[in-house]
Copies of this chain bind each other. A is one copy, B any other.
Amino acid sequence: MKKINVGLIGFGTIGAGVARVLLENRQIIQSRLGAELKLAKIADLDITSDRGITVPDGILTTDANEILGNPDIDIVIELVGGYEPARSFVLKALNSGQNVVTANKALLAKHGNEIFAAARAGGVDFYYEASVGGGIPIIKVIREALAGNRINSVCGILNGTCNYILTKMGDEGAEFSEVLQAAQELGYAEADPTFDIEGIDTAHKLAILTSLAFATPIAFDRIHVEGITGIKPVDFNFAREFGYKIKLLAIAKLEEGQIEVRVHPTMLPESHMLAKIDDVFNAVFVNSDALGPSLYYGQGAGMMATASAVVGDLVDIARNRLNESLRRVPDLSFQEEAITPATYRPMNEITTQYYLRFSAFDKTRVLSRIAGILGENEISIASVIQQGRSQSGGTVPIVMQTHKAREANLRKALAIIDELEIIAAPTAVIRMESDL
Contact = CB atoms under 8 A, between A and B. Distances in A.
Contacts of A316: 144, 147
Contacts of A34: 330, 335
B215 A290 contact: no
Interface stretch (A51-59, A74-82, A112-120, A301-309): A301-309
Interface residues of A, number: 61
Contact of A29 (B147, B276, B324): B147
Contact of A150 (B25, B146, B293): B25
Given A293-B298, A304-B290, A141 B137 contact: yes
A28 B289 CA distance: 12
Residue with the greatest number of chain B CB neighbours at <10 A, chosen from A290, A309, A320, A329: A290
A295 B137 CA distance: 11
Interface of A: 17, 21-22, 25, 28-29, 31-34, 129, 135-137, 140-141, 144-150, 215, 273, 276, 288-299, 304-305, 307-312, 314-316, 319-320, 323-325, 328-330, 333-335, 338
A333 B32 contact: yes
A91 B181 CA distance: 62
A188 to B, nearest CB: 15
A148 B31 contact: no
Contacts of A135: 290-292, 294
A141 B296 CA distance: 10
Nearest to A145: B137
A291 B141 CA distance: 16
Contacts of A319: 325, 328-329
A432 to B, nearest CB: 21
Given A32-B330, A137-B144, A148-B312, 12 more contacts: A21-B148, A32-B335, A144-B312, A144-B316, A148-B307, A148-B308, A290-B304, A291-B309, A294-B298, A320-B328, A324-B324, A324-B325
Nearest to A143: B32
A288 B393 CA distance: 53
Nearest to A329: B319
Contacts of A276: 273, 276
